Chain A
Amino acid sequence: MYGEGILKGMAVTLKHLFKKPVTVQYPEERAPMFPRFRGYEFVWYEDRCTGCASCAKYCPLGTIRIETETEPDPNVGDRYGLKVFDIDTGRCMFCGLCVEACPYDALFMGTGFERATYTRPSMVVHIDELRAAKKKPSAYARPHLHGINFEDETSLSSEEAGR
Chain B
Amino acid sequence: MTLKTEPITVNIGPQHPSTHGVFRLRVAFDGEVIQDVEPVFGYLHRGSEKLAEERTYTQVVTLTDRLDYVAPMTSNQAYVLAVERLMGIEAPERGQYIRVMMAELMRIASHLMMIGFFLQDMGAFGTPLMYTFREREDILDLFEMVCGARITVTYMRVGGVQADLPPEFTPALERFLAKIPGQIDDLEQLLSGNEILIARTKNVGLLSAEAAINGSVTGPALRASGVDWDLRKSDPYEIYDQLEFDVPIGENGDNYDRFVLRLEEMRQSVRIVRQCKEQMPGGPHRLELPMLLRPPAGDAYGRVEAPKGELGFYLVSDGSIAPYRCAIRSPSFINLTVLRDMLIGWKLADMVTIFGSLDVNMGEVDR
Contact = CB atoms under 8 A, between A and B. Distances in A.
A pairs with B: yes
A34 B163 contact: no
B147 interface: yes
B5 interface: no
Contacts of A60: 55, 59, 62-63
A109 B148 contact: yes
A141 B62 contact: no
Contact of B195 (A1, A35, A95, A139): A1
Contacts of B148: 34, 36-39, 96, 109, 138, 140
Interface stretch (A6-14, A82-90, A153-161): A6-14
Given A6-B195, A12-B189, A34 B154 contact: no
Contacts of B291: 58, 100-101
A39 B56 CA distance: 24
- Which of A12, A138, A140 has most B Cβ within 10 Å? A12
A36 B152 contact: no
A22 B134 CA distance: 8
B144 A36 contact: yes
B191 interface: yes
A138 B145 CA distance: 12
Interface in B320-351: none
B58 interface: yes
Nearest to B133: A22
Nearest to B172: A34
B127 A94 contact: no
Nearest to B134: A22
Interface in B195-223: 195-198
A8 B149 contact: no
B6 interface: no
A152 interface: no
A60 B291 CA distance: 13
Interface in A1-45: 1, 3-6, 8-9, 11-13, 16, 22, 33-39
Interface residues of A, number: 35
- Which of B63, B148, B189, B191 has most A Cβ within 10 Å? B148
A103 to B, nearest CB: 10
B194 A34 contact: no
A143 interface: yes
Contacts of B59: 58, 60, 97
A33 B291 CA distance: 28
B354 to A, nearest CB: 22
A94 B152 CA distance: 8
B194 A9 contact: yes
Contact of B152 (A8, A95, A109, A146): A95
A60 B59 CA distance: 6
A3 B190 contact: no
A93 interface: yes
A5 B194 contact: yes
A93 B62 contact: yes
Contacts of A37: 144, 148-149
Interface of B: 55-56, 58-59, 62-63, 65, 127, 131, 134, 137, 141, 144-149, 152, 154, 162-164, 166-168, 186, 189-198, 291
Given A8-B194, A38-B148, A100-B162, 16 more contacts: A4-B193, A5-B194, A9-B191, A11-B189, A13-B127, A13-B190, A36-B146, A36-B147, A37-B149, A38-B147, A38-B149, A58-B291, A96-B154, A109-B148, A138-B148, A143-B164
26 contacts: A5-B191, A5-B194, A5-B198, A6-B196, A9-B189, A9-B190, A9-B191, A9-B194, A11-B189, A22-B134, A34-B141, A34-B145, A35-B166, A36-B148, A37-B144, A38-B147, A39-B148, A58-B291, A94-B149, A94-B152, A96-B149, A97-B58, A109-B148, A138-B148, A140-B148, A146-B166
